[in-house]
Each structure stands twice: as C-alpha cells, then as structure tokens.
Structure 1
C-alpha cells in the first residue's frame, strides 16, 4: 500500500479523533449550559461512526501495524486479568 495513502487516511483519522475528543471535553465542562453540553455529546457520538470507518480503512492499509496494536491490547488484557485473579486470591 502507498505510504501517501496511509498518511492521508491517518491524517483523516486523527482529525476525526481530535474532533471527537474536543466534543467530549466540551460535553463535560461543568460551567457550560446544559444545552451546549448535550449538543457537544451529540457531536461526539455523530463523529464516532466516521472515525470507526476511517480506522477500518487504515487497518486494511496497514495490517502489520494493526496486528501489533492488537498484540499490545491482548497483552494488557492478560496482565489486567492476572492482576484481578491475584487480587481475588488474596481476598
């Protein structure tokens, strides 16, 4: 896959993620009027499907990177599971 195409989709994904993050932060601003907070939450959730689609395209373009991310996530899940099991055994 073309590095330029990966760069383009990565930039789009980052832009969408940033828009979603800004909307989520705006939704949690306690001093903001409730109407503004609700509108911000709606924007955040409206951005989610587009971000997922963009990330799915990126996953197709860069499968080795995606697999590495899954491996890291699997290791974190296993570590958390081990921690929870040790905690339960100690109780």
Structure 2
C-alpha cells in the first residue's frame, strides 16, 4: 500500500556482512600466528588488528583507518623517527 519493498541479506554471507569480511581476513592471520606462538597469540591480537587497519585496500586505495578517521594512524616506526604530521601540529 505504501510502496515499501523489503530487501533481505544473508546474515552470515561474507560478501554482505562487514564483520564476516573482516573475519575472513583475520582467521588465516590468527592461524599463522597461533602456529608460530601457540601460547601467546591471543595476547598479540591487537598487532594483527593494527596490521589490517593500516593495510591499503585494493578497491578504495586507502586504509580502513583513513576511511574512518580521515588520517592514517602513527605506527611504531613513526614514533621512533619522530616524524610529525600536519594534523599533530598545533594551530596558531
């Protein structure tokens, strides 16, 4: 009566569920890490998440972190070198 159509997507279909797409990438990384360090992989999960968030996406040409925050996060190497970004400099 109102002209509204219902579209359904599969909850666990990796192409339509963002969480499942991330899991598809994360599962092999965890498996590799768990084989090398079976007792500590769960403590290092943040390193894997950082790697995924800072990897350039083939489709967008940007990192997921840049797409969400508008800038790339500073990594450990950036902190060691001490390179500043334009965003980090105070406005005068």
Q: TM-score, normalised by structure 1?
A: 0.35
Structure 1 or 2: larger helix share?
1
**Higher relative contact order at CA 8 Å, sep ≥6: structure 1 or structure 2?**
1
